[in-house]
Amino acid sequence: MAVTEVVPGVFLCAGTDVNWVLLRDGTDLTLIDTGYPGDLDRVIASIGEIGCRPEDVRAVLLTHAHVDHMGAANHFAQRYSVPVYTDETEARHARREFLEQASRLDVAKNLWRPGVAPWLSRVMRVGVTQDVRIPTAQAFPTDGPLDLPGRPVPVPTRGHTSGHTTYLIPAAGAVATGDELVTWHAVTRHRGPHVLPDFFSHGDSAKAIDVLATLDAEVILPGHGTALHRPIADAIREAKRLPASRG
């Protein structure tokens, strides 16, 4: 687990092949995504590393309801009564009223990719196959900036999943892009801004990243990979120049 203060009060935390983001205002925190179920201890350690406690988390925000992004959310909801917010459609996904997720067959068909088998070995150990659902997941309470530490602004980017959301942090000039735009993934092994292979996605990611390109942000906090200090419109242009990754 690594914690990087990318800009003051904004931290990108790396777990098992996935990231989460902490927004700190005094001792109050917003937690964006929560890693795999087996990353819970790492999430708690990351909070302690920046001088806070788990009970300082005021809300969990989900970019989307895949197990590697919501694995530890129930701990905060159940132990500390922390609300879990996301897009209205994605809240239904998190409650598992429907499921959009790469199947075992999808993964098996992509074992030819050099990075897939080692990645699968790692994520199996932290709960990639667990049936995680968040009964308390709910839609954002308001439109526009949320009254939470960091004042994040939900931005619909419905491509990777039907209700995928990115979070703009205007005061920091940063954006948490979830899985719509990443800077590295073990499956692709590409370093730099790009879109995940099609077998991971369930909508029009090309349209979704066009939305990202309109944002006023020069710090990119991806769901996978390292932070990127670069205007997001430039990063999107680079991602679009890459060959489409099918699967």
23: left (phi over 0), alpha (psi -120 to 50) or beta: beta
Q: Is the pLDDT of residue 169 over 80?
A: yes
pLDDT tens track for 144-156: 999 999 999 999 9
Average pLDDT value for the chain = 94
% of residues, the chain, pLDDT over 70: 98
Q: Which domains does the chain have, with CATH numbers?
A: 2-241 (3.60.15.10)
**Contact between 56 and 29 (Cβ < 8 Å):** yes
Beta 138-139 vs 153-156: how paired, if at all? Answer: unpaired
Yes or no: say if 175 and 181 are a contact pair by the CB < 8 Å rule.
no
Angle at 133 between CA 131 and CA 136, to 5 degrees: 165
53-75 mean pLDDT: 98
Pair type for strands 138-139 and 84-86: parallel
At 245 the pLDDT is 54
